Amino acid sequence: MMIYLDNSATTKPDPEVVKSFQQVSERFFANPSSIHQLGGESEQLLLEAKQQCAHLLHVEPEEIIFTSGGTEGNNLAIKGIAFEHRGRGKHIITSEIEHSSVYETCKALERLGFRVTYLPVDERGVISIDDLKRAITDDTILITIMHVNNELGSIQPIEQIGQLAKKYPKLYVHVDDVQGLGKVPFRLKASGIDLCTMSGHKIHGLKGTGILYAHKRTSLFPLFHGGNQEGSRRAGTENLAGAVSLAKALRLAKEKEQTEVKRMYELHHYMRSELKMIKHIEVNTPERAAPHIMNFSVPGLKPEVLIHMLGEKQIYISTKSACSSKQIDDHRILSACGYDESRSKSALRVSLTYDTTKEQINTFIDVLKDSINRLKEVME
């Protein structure tokens, strides 16, 4: 039996979600913008999807923008604010451990004349609110900070960041919640956060689906110009089947957030204590972390080799984030936490989901021990 422990890269779509997608694709194929009856039905359904998502997130329907996923959401939020409000200022604050879709977007904006501050993190992968306070200037228009780090599982104090930013009226706050959604709840509306990126395929939804929450008073410069879909913030015929399937995935994830997360934390603690007992292993994920991500290093071993050995037993884990794991010497995030090169380069990530079992974790630990022993023998 396969043991899939790479859920932070992507999850297996829930069959219910796939079913919704198929049903909508077959029954409601009309364009919601067409004025005939069929178009009307599609428009109704789209509104319903938006209302359901809004209800689940405790926000308003007009604040939901359906996107193609996390990368688009992050790009739309950051470039959207930067281009729309460049007259107010040209300074952006982010952190050193953002996902590449935030980090590279900021790098790109630097080439266009924006100034970006990359806040450092401590060894737990967390920024300091004092550093943030000091970084804010008259010229700052945006703070973009992730909620849960995709490699380490560390959690940023985003509610505090939102509260702090409230004191600066021209400052927008964007949160990349791709990894936190459905696992680490936070108060979106009450925290003064203006924008929040979510992705469908990390919560057992489909690839190509996502939401950018944008507070109703937040104006954005669109990435796509064209029709007036999504309040003219994202032109293009709506992916109706995707939107409906995402509403379902979100409902299921929110239900499981209530019922399963406690158990995931127990499993997470258990796995940490098991890993700590293995010689040569150093656990990188901090004590206070999301319940689904466990990062550790086996200094001296090439992580790829371990991945392939586990793969032979049909156990699937990953090196760092899938989006950058093919670039061999990219170990930006662990280095930012102050880990030395051998530890950063040999990092591995295990990521769980709601139905991961203790037996699966035990099997993984056994195979991992065995593999490390074999490799160390060869090397010594």
Distance CA 283, CA 190 (A): 34
Q: Could you say whether residue 62 binds other proteins (CB under 8 A)?
A: yes
Is the C-alpha dihedral spanning 102, 96, 192, 141 positive or negative?
negative
Contact mark string toward other proteins, 231..270, x via CB under 8 A: -------------x--xx--x-------------------
Q: Could you say whether residue 90 binds other proteins (CB under 8 A)?
A: no
Q: Which of residues 143-202 bind other proteins (CB under 8 A)?
A: 163, 166, 187, 189-190
Instruction: Pick left, alpha or beta for residue 120 (phi over 0 → left; psi -120 to 50 → alpha; otherwise beta).
Output: beta
205 with 13: CB under 8 angstroms? yes
CA distances from 51 to 56, 57, 65, 359 (A): 9, 10, 12, 39
Q: Which is nearer to other proteins, 91 or 248 (CB)?
A: 248
**Residue from 60, 96, 274, 282 in contact with other proteins (CB under 8 A):** 60
Q: Could you say whether residue 328 binds other proteins (CB under 8 A)?
A: no
Any idea which residue has 């359901």 for tokens? 52
The one segment of 36-44, 90-98, 169-177, 304-312 that binds other proteins by CB under 8 A: 36-44
Q: Name the minimum Å distance from CB 246 to other proteins.
A: 10
Tokens of 232: 């003219």
Distance CA 31, CA 257 (A): 34
Q: Which of residues 3-32 bind other proteins (CB under 8 A)?
A: 20, 23-24
Q: Could you say whether residue 40 binds other proteins (CB under 8 A)?
A: yes
DSSP reduced 3-state for 190 = coil
Catalytic residues: 323
Query: What contacts 380, CB < 8 A, 6 or more positions away?
Result: none
Any idea which residue has 């950058």 for tokens? 324
Q: Could you say whether residue 204 binds other proteins (CB under 8 A)?
A: no
Distance CA 144, CA 316 (A): 31
Q: Which is nearer to other proteins, 217 or 326 (CB)?
A: 217
Q: Could you say whether residue 48 binds other proteins (CB under 8 A)?
A: yes
54 with 60: CB under 8 angstroms? yes
Q: Which is nearer to other proteins, 79 or 233 (CB)?
A: 233
DSSP 254-265: HHHHHHTHHHHH
Q: Which is nearer to other proteins, 48 or 84 (CB)?
A: 48
Q: Name the minimum Å distance from CB 240 to other proteins.
A: 10
The one segment of 47-55, 74-82, 84-92, 295-303 that binds other proteins by CB under 8 A: 47-55
Q: Name the minimum Å distance from CB 76 to other proteins.
A: 21
Number of residues that bind other proteins (CB under 8 A): 28
DSSP 301-338: S-HHHHHHHHHHTTEE-BSS-TTTTTSTT--HHHHHTT
Q: Could you say whether residue 35 binds other proteins (CB under 8 A)?
A: yes
Longest Cα pair distance anywhere in the chain, in angstroms? 74
Q: Which of residues 213-232 bind other proteins (CB under 8 A)?
A: none
Q: Could you say whether residue 122 binds other proteins (CB under 8 A)?
A: no
- Residues forming contacts to other proteins in the complex (CB under 8 A) are 20, 23-24, 35, 37, 40-41, 43-45, 47-49, 51-52, 55, 58, 60, 62, 163, 166, 187, 189-190, 244, 247-248, 251
